[in-house]
Amino acid sequence: MNSTLIQLTARIADALSKIDATGAPMLQPSQDPKFGDYQCNAAMGLAKKLGKKPREVAQQIVDNLNVSDLCETPEIAGPGFINLRLKPAFVAASLAAIPSAPDGATDRVGFDPVDNAEVVAVDLSSPNLAKEMHVGHLRSTVIGDCVARVLEFQGHTVHRENHVGDWGTQFGMLVAYLRHTQPDVIKDPDSLEIGDLESFYVAAKARFDADEEFKTESRETVVALQQGDPVIRKIWQAFCNESLRHCHEIYDLLKVDLIDRGESFYAAGMEDVCDRLEKMRNSGESDAVQDSDGALCVFPGGFTTRDGDPLPMIVRKTDGGHNYATSDLATILHRVEKMNATRLVYVVGITQKQHFEMLFASARKIGWVGENVRLEHLAFGSLLSKTGRPFKTREGGTVKLRTLLDEAIARARGVIDKSDDASKYDDALSPDEIDRIANVVGLGAVKYFDLSHALASDYKFDLDHMLNLEGNTAPYMMYAYARVRSIGRKAEVDFAKLPASAPIILEHATELALAKKILRFAEILDTVARDLRPNVLTDYLYELSRTFSRFYDKKLGVRVINAETAELRTSRLRLCDLTARVLKLGLDLLGIETIEKM
């Protein structure tokens, strides 16, 4: 079923066509319930075109608007806003139509997959290999996973691409360092034992920074790697495997699914990119492709150097080497031509804004990406330490992501241990259960906190805040879910077995408010899938749980378990069930698990 917003938008479009006005329906949810549930702002824009007063146009739209099955009589307000208020009967019928949760299968809460499914490539996580993942890799992993989940839920085919950096100078450096420290391994690569990759990397990097000759050697070694030297490749592979093994420990912990397809995967594709560009340059097919100081370049237009000269994207350096742009152009070709993706999403920090702007503009300019393909950079801000400074260890090094996650889990365990006083309850948690819950709460808190911030803004990693049971946090949301589920247990009903034919009754203001909020989930999903902004979903879930609290509040709300009549009891329990299901699904789309008892 389409969201209410889509249904109402169609009705407005209909009314506009009846008055021969071509314009967008401009319907949006109202900010304030005083003005109804939805507000149409089309009249103001049309008034000029039609040479009438906005209120007059609004009246004309209303006269031709057929919404009596969905809304109360529309009201015109202010300069010409049209306010629409949903009829309780429509809200009740829409919710009543949602089938009960299926036994065993995943609960889609009545949502069908979209009709126009696409192939989407989501570029997520994508650390540079050779070190362990550090705190800077959290956001891309968590945001990417959420975006992929939402798109998958909508029925799109999603390729979760872990575009790891495995083809750069850092590998030349590692191999060169090995040559100096363990010369025998170069003769017999099978005998390689890396040991602690992190300290090996740090030692190699120290030499790299201090020793010009070693730096040159490292660069030459990476060229040899890229040209296919078999021994170097073997060692390189061992380094990659070891590094990826670390990464996948984190992915397993976070339950994030992805496919490793790093820069090296596109080695042949990069040659192809240069061949194609050379042909374009030679044939003059596109004047965007030109040599500049011996480097093969694409000039996308619209970008300038500090001196105001056209700024190119260098695709093959003067020394013949490939770079980040080369691999990203090859990646685009792969995703568009081989995967047939029509939506390419890059979950990468905001510091790479210009790279993606130039990349996208170049790919369009040279005709490799057509109108039918969307290119999106989900640029996110930095993760800062609690004090608002860049994240560093006391010694000034990078903080491992693993350290951060372990700390969150440990802190969550502390909170649980405190609240779970074994001597007081018969059903105290077993140590295994505590472990599992600490994991779910700790990791859930980290993910939720990250996703609840607007993408582009920086945020401070504050465990106290993210583990707080009050406010827009994972523990609060998990608690809200567990509380709703516990109502079912107290009422001794199986939510899944509540009669789907029983009517939903919306007489009390808090019942109606809750029902409307649940109904809005469809719209929220559409918005998140369109704009790829996870915080829209966290905000919604938070509002939903607060609306539920008012509904269940002893003073403000209604009685559920001991409702006035059996009919009301069933209706209210169904509202509880729907709330729990939406919370669970919503959290699942954020990559967060729920707990039945808390």
- Of the ranges 38-46, 123-131, 381-389, 526-534, which one interacts with ligand ARG (CB under 6 A)? 123-131
Of the two residues 80 and 168, which places its CB atom closer to ligand ARG in the complex?
A: 168
Q: Does 127 bind ligand ARG (CB under 6 A)?
A: yes
- Of the ranges 38-46, 73-81, 126-134, 403-411, which one interacts with ligand ARG (CB under 6 A)? 126-134
Q: Which residues contact 472 (CB under 8 A, 6 or more apart)?
A: 452, 538, 539, 542
Of the two residues 127 and 269, which places its CB atom closer to ligand ARG in the complex?
A: 127
Q: Does 381 bind ligand ARG (CB under 6 A)?
A: no
Distance of CA 433 to the CA centre of its chain: 29
What x-and-dash track marks residues 447-486 binding ligand ARG by CB under 6 A? ----------------------------------------
Of the two residues 132 and 328, which places its CB atom closer to ligand ARG in the complex?
A: 328
| 3, 83, 128, 452: residue in contact with ligand ARG (rule CB under 6 A) | 128
Here the contacts of 252-256 (C-beta below 8 Å, separation 24 or greater) are 253/405, 253/439, 253/443, 254/141, 254/142, 254/145, 254/405, 254/443, 254/447, 254/591, 255/591, 255/593, 256/125, 256/141, 256/142, 256/144, 256/145, 256/591
CA separation for the pair 289, 277 (Å, rounded): 7
Compute the least distance from the CB of residue 169 to ligand ARG, in Å. Answer: 13
Compute the least distance from the CB of residue 495 to ligand ARG, in Å. Answer: 43
Compute the least distance from the CB of residue 348 to ligand ARG, in Å. Answer: 5
Q: Does 126 bind ligand ARG (CB under 6 A)?
A: yes
Compute the least distance from the CB of residue 136 to ligand ARG, in Å. Answer: 8
CA separation for the pair 404, 447 (Å, rounded): 12
* Beta carbons of 300 and 248 less than 8 angstroms apart: no
CA separation for the pair 286, 551 (Å, rounded): 64
Kindly provide the residue ranges of all beta strands, DSSP E only, lying in 381-470, ordered along the sequence: 383-384, 459-460
Which tokens is 398 given? Answer: 């990078």
Compute the least distance from the CB of residue 351 to ligand ARG, in Å. Answer: 8
Compute the least distance from the CB of residue 344 to ligand ARG, in Å. Answer: 9
Of the two residues 126 and 527, which places its CB atom closer to ligand ARG in the complex?
A: 126
Compute the least distance from the CB of residue 128 to ligand ARG, in Å. Answer: 4
- Which 156-185 residues touch ligand ARG, going by CB under 6 A? 163, 165
Q: Which residues contact 365 (CB under 8 A, 6 or more apart)?
A: 286, 288, 298, 299, 300, 301
CA torsion sign for 534, 592, 448, 6 is: positive
Compute the least distance from the CB of residue 268 to ligand ARG, in Å. Answer: 17
For residue 83, the cross-strand partners are 39, 75
What x-and-dash track marks residues 335-374 binding ligand ARG by CB under 6 A? -----------x-x--------------------------
What x-and-dash track marks residues 80-119 binding ligand ARG by CB under 6 A? ----------------------------------------
Compute the least distance from the CB of residue 327 to ligand ARG, in Å. Answer: 7
CA separation for the pair 542, 373 (Å, rounded): 34
Which tokens is 417 given? Answer: 């241990």
Q: Does 439 bind ligand ARG (CB under 6 A)?
A: no
Neighbours of 532 (CB within 10 A): 21
CA separation for the pair 43, 56 (Å, rounded): 8
> β-pairing, 75-77 with 81-84?
antiparallel
# binding residues, ligand ARG (CB under 6 A): 10
- Which 292-331 residues touch ligand ARG, going by CB under 6 A? 328, 331
Residue 388, CB-side half-sphere exposure with 13 Å CA sphere: 1
The residues that touch ligand ARG, with contacts defined as CB under 6 A, are: 123, 126-128, 163, 165, 328, 331, 346, 348
